[in-house]
Amino acid sequence: MNPIAVIFSLLGALFLAFVIRLLSLTSVGTGLATAPWWVYAVYLAIVFSGMMFVYTWSEERRKEREQIEEEGSRIISEYRQRRLNNQG
């Protein structure tokens, strides 16, 4: 896994822990403590959705870079072949 992704994941987890702690100390936090179970499920689904978005976005970027590199290599090899053919 990419070290930058790990760092951002850890920062996100720390931020979430901070927000949860902040909410537990305020009057808004008392409303969260009495929330039904499905509210927590929705919160988890939102966090999971965000994580999967970032993962999919990074995978698409990686695949796109690989495709561009392969296409560039193919074009360069064709150019070299034409150059060798024209010299000979």
Per-residue pLDDT at 43: 80
pLDDT at 86 over 70: yes
The domain spans of the chain are 1-35, 36-88
pLDDT at 78 over 90: yes
- DSSP annotation of 35 reads S
Per-residue tokens: 11: 């920062």
pLDDT at 66 over 60: yes
Dump pLDDT digits (tens) for 1-60: 567 777 777 788 888 877 777 777 666 555 556 777 777 788 888 888 888 888 898 899
Q: What's this model's pTM, rounded to 2 decimal places?
A: 0.53
- Buried b vs exposed e over 7-22: b needs ≥16 C-beta within 10 Å? eeeeeeeeeeeeeeee
